[in-house]
A and B are shown apart, each in its own frame.
Chain A
Amino acid sequence: MSTSTAAPPTVVNFTVDGRQLSAPPGTLLIDACKRAGIEIPAFCYYEGYSLQAACRMCLVEVEKMPKLQTACTLPVMEGMIVRSETEQIHKARKGTLEFLLTNHPLDCPVCDKGGECELQDMVFRYGAGESRFTEIKNHEPERQWSPVVFYDPARCILCYRCVRACNEGMGVGALGVTNRGVVSEIAPNMVDHLDCDECGACIDICPVGALTSNTYRYKTRPWEMQHVGTVCTHCSNGCKTTLGVRNDEIVRGNNRDRSGINGEFLCVKGRYGFDVSTNEERVTSPMIRINGKLEAVSWSKALGFVAEKFRSVSTAGGSFGVVAGPHLTNEELFYLQKFTRAGLKTSNLDHARSGDLVTLLDALSGKTDALATSDDCYNTKAALVIGSDLSQQHPFLAFQLRADVRHHKANIYTVTPGPVREAKYSAQSIEVPVGGEFDALRNLTETLKGEQELVILFGDSIKGQRVRDLVEWASGLGIPVKYVCLVDYSNSRGAMDMGVMPNLLPGYEVDPHPGMSLGQMLSHETLDVLWVVGANPLRGKTLASKQAFVVTQTMFLEETSERADVVFPSASAYEKNGTVTNVTGQVQRLKAAVRTMGAKTDLEICGLLAKELGLAVEIGVWSHDVVFKEIHKSVRGYNVPLPILITGGAAATNPVNGRVAVDVRIEDIQSAGDTLFTSGELGRYSKLLTSVPEFPGALYKR
């Protein structure tokens, strides 16, 4: 896929501190040195964003150049001789740091960044212990710009990282610079407050403590935390998030270690949406409805009560309906479907489906390598987004596309019912009402034929026959095409892969005895048991069956639990071990960061129920690694390399393999249409998410 035309030299040789190095032409000296293990300090330089050369820390000596040169703007050149550690350079860096510290307050003991501050590190390494600055420092009071972002102008060293992260990385451009000279400072787009994604990228990227987040401010110090790398539990993009935990409390989320598929990217949910786990409305004890009121009871009583009911309904030949949530782990989903099919002898099993992957897999039967991963979204030469406000619903995929445009000059095409942020940098952006997508696609056909490859990302408006039409249309383009079927939540994809569907077994094997779908269960008038695990199907819907015995496993007393006869307190995704599969089919490991008193994981609750029903031997051990072994062995596409998974990587699954011949009820497929600040059932229990101003994309005002 090389695009190089002539063939300029593919490698440039140069010398740094007496070491012979080589790098591809065009590589910046600072990057080349970093790769060779030679550290050149910098504040303003940030890999992936535009160059500034403002901090003057990366000055190096280059032979035949009279002045010190900035390594961050200097591409390596053949035969270049560089010295990165000399007396003169040390003096220059020390001088620059002395200048920086003139107006930087020395309030490290109270600064949140103290301990992980790049300025501290630099001063420690190059700086002077004493300052000759004896004048009055400039001081401006700290400001709050949004429910998330605080800015302390005095601490700001004006490296413009935040400005670039917001503008280039997030495509928002909410930050700029105001004033001039020594009183210049970063300014928000609404004069005194921010109207933005509240993603907190500016806060994370800040090398000093100028930008701080409301959730973390003054809570702890960096060295006081344990860091737990897990996966964000909100949307389906599956961003790795490293949680800072102190005293069994999550105090911050970020991904500064750039582990995982998302590098440093996180949206507002990934960084700040962890407070759902500490909401005081959490259910912490099993409850049974006694005289119309839910009363707290012991685990053994509740489990015994449910088992008794299940047993009697089962004996009487009654009907069970099982609904799983899209935030459960693969292990829980797999265990639950096994419980339902083998234990309760029914396939009345479903989850709230948000994308028609089933039809896509069927339509792609026979093709290999037709599903795109998140890396493909970054590396592709062209991408087509159909019917999704990507920046709102799939912030990480949108970030990948933006980075693709910035770094690879990719062409992005959008066909959406409303205005989307992607239009700002897309090659072509078309707005059509739902249903009119194919007219727009036909207009794009000729343009797209000129591309070298294409990744198509489509939302829930393309389902059923329209998926087949899309695949057929794309096959006619004559270029390699990969697909992403967009789904809503952290494990919506896993729920399909694990066979939590009435007509499909794990790995998209056709169930010989199909059961009822979610819609059918809710409208079934004589349903005897509705068992809801981590979901809220009765939000805005009613249960037709008056006699149904409803059991929920939940974190909060939401609409379904209000109708429930028994409620079990379940653990949040921050309190679980297991695996989840993201929208692009990459499996990642979930690691328990904290514990919440009273709650058990859904896997454990299901296991205890199985034990109570005498089914434990049949269904198996309720330990996540044992269940994962079984998934790894038996579910199509999940035979992933274990070392990747165990070390916290993302292993791509690829379940495309032959026909998936089932009827898809397209009325069951509906995206919840979350925005950046909503997260289905979880969002409303996050104090932070509900406090940030909500500016949903015009596309999803429904």
Chain B
Amino acid sequence: MFNEPHPDEVRIITKRFGLPNSASIDTYLAHEGYVAFMKAAEMTPEAIIEELKVSSLRGRGGAGFPTGLKWSFIPRDNPKPKYVVVNADESEPGTCKDRLLIENDPHQLIEGCLIAARTIGCKLGYIYIRGEYRYLIDIMDKALAEAYAHGYLGKNIKGTGIDFDLYTHSGAGAYECGEESALLESLEGKRGVPRIRPPFPAVSGLYASPTVLNNVETFCSVPAILRMGGQAYADLGTPKNGGTRMLCVSGHVNRPGVYEIPLGFSMQKMIYDVCGGIRGGKKLKAVIPGGSSSPVLKADECDFPMDYDNYARMKTMAGSGGMMVMDEDTDIVKVALRTMRFYAHESCGWCIPCREGTTWLRKILTRMDEGTGRRADIDLIHELAKNMLGRTFCPLGDAAAMPTIGFVEKFREEFEARLRETVVPVTSPDQLIAIG
């Protein structure tokens, strides 16, 4: 289930991985389980938030928003009920860390939720798990039942006076529902389309009430922070980029897998050392560093310390940690097409640029791949993606546009080469219809 740990890893949230029966509450309790929550119960909400701010924990779902700051936005004097919602709708291509966290250590997530609930004064939480992770719902439900049985959920938890109920909720297979406001819509039983923001979920989230909504990994990091102290956690990473994060390496490396590394770890080292280099001794061509939404990096750009700020400096993003490594034989046009097919399929259809743009791009890229591309198509792809960028309702449009722009700008010669090798004369009327 989980790859062999590498000595360069710093295993904070994955430390119980590999223990026998690691998902059970007994294992969890034997390994500092629920210690952090008991500690949090003694602390004031302000102190918890302060600790998170010191830890410089940033959201692990993709956007990298400081978690302490996010929690501090919850208006605690609001008379409405407050909610904790876990975003376990892990659908970003290349990302597979949340499933391991839930599979191997579900109680860590429960504890993270408990601390969040303690912080904002909330009594009810939901874990929104993507529909395709059906088996995780069973694992999570079992863990919840254990937590209830041991009194870590329910009324007056362990005599602290804190009440908290936690439920799982299954998504129905929409990438869009990983976007926080669409997730909330879906959780409310509506069509999973994003909401107008502001108001943000912290103010008006689930059922128009203040809601803390974070990624699984973010919640899982919280108990560790409280256990070891914010400063110690922060010191693991680089300034403003505290702690460790899970990196899901896939593609043409010798040892693909999920690794927990401190922020600021070198990408070069990651590929060639931790992951054992490129498969078959080939040359590196490109890396998609943070899930399919992040712009691609060329081989010569892949040497920088991986923290949020350096990703931004490289004009890409940390995303959800789905790092895809491609060797020299990779066909970039096919990669672009595969990526766009995903986004065209997953676009929710709410706003025009994303709905129509992704499909148009998919059609052009399909044509290119099939050998009926035209010279003007390359610029057209680039311009259409630019037309989508920043003009869509939610980040899905950007997520589709950014990598496409990256592919065209950085590997233009591959697109052009594809045109040269496949010049198909127009002969039959059928083709005329197809081409227009």
Binding site for B on A (CB under 8 A): 51-56, 59, 67-68, 73, 91-92, 95-96, 98-100, 102-103, 132-136, 138, 157-158, 176-177, 179-184
Contact = CB atoms under 8 A, between A and B. Distances in A.
28 contacts: A52-B196, A53-B196, A53-B351, A73-B196, A99-B356, A99-B360, A99-B387, A100-B352, A100-B356, A103-B356, A134-B435, A135-B364, A136-B433, A158-B349, A158-B350, A176-B191, A177-B191, A179-B349, A180-B348, A181-B344, A181-B347, A181-B349, A181-B358, A181-B359, A182-B355, A182-B356, A182-B358, A184-B349
Given A157-B352, A182-B355, A182-B359, A68 B390 contact: yes
Interface in B375-397: 376, 380, 384, 387, 390-393
A181 B353 CA distance: 11
Dominant SS at the A interface?
loop
A132 to B, nearest CB: 6
B191 A102 contact: no
B369 interface: no
A56 B359 contact: no
Contact of B347 (A54, A91, A102, A182): A182
B196 A51 contact: yes
Given A59-B391, A181-B347, 9 more contacts: A55-B352, A68-B390, A92-B387, A95-B353, A102-B356, A132-B376, A158-B349, A158-B352, A180-B174
Contacts of B384: 95, 99
User: What are the nearest 3 A-B pairs in CB distance?
Assistant: A134-B436, A95-B387, A184-B349
A80 to B, nearest CB: 15
A416 B28 CA distance: 60
Contacts of A181: 344-349, 355, 358-359
A184 B393 contact: no
B363 interface: yes
Contacts of A133: 360, 436
Interface residues of B, number: 35
A139 B321 CA distance: 39
Nearest to A92: B391
Nearest to B433: A136
A179 B355 CA distance: 12
B178 interface: no
Interface string B135-150: 0000000000000000
Contact of B352 (A51, A56, A134, A183): A56
Given A133-B360, A181-B345, A54 B351 contact: yes
Nearest to A94: B387
A100 B392 CA distance: 13
A99 B400 CA distance: 15
B28 to A, nearest CB: 39
Contacts of A100: 352, 356
Given A56-B392, A181-B345, A135 B367 contact: yes
Contacts of A95: 353, 384, 387, 391
Nearest to B434: A136
Contacts of B174: 180
Interface in B326-372: 344-353, 355-360, 363-364, 367
Nearest to B389: A67
Contacts of B392: 56
Contacts of B390: 67-68
A133 B358 CA distance: 13
A363 B191 CA distance: 52
B62 to A, nearest CB: 18
B436 A182 contact: no
A180 B352 contact: no
Contacts of B391: 56, 59, 67-68, 92, 95-96
Contacts of A179: 349
Given A132-B380, A181-B345, A182-B344, A54 B350 contact: yes
Nearest to B379: A132
Contacts of A53: 196, 351, 393
B347 A56 contact: no
B345 A96 contact: no
A56 B384 CA distance: 15
Contacts of A52: 196
A134 B368 CA distance: 13
Contacts of A96: 352-353, 387, 391
A237 B367 CA distance: 58
Contacts of B351: 53-56
Contact of B353 (A51, A91, A99): A99
Nearest to B198: A73
Nearest to B374: A134
A613 B348 CA distance: 75
A99 B351 CA distance: 11
Given A53-B351, A56-B351, A181-B345, A102 B436 contact: no
Nearest to B175: A180
Contacts of B353: 56, 95-96, 99
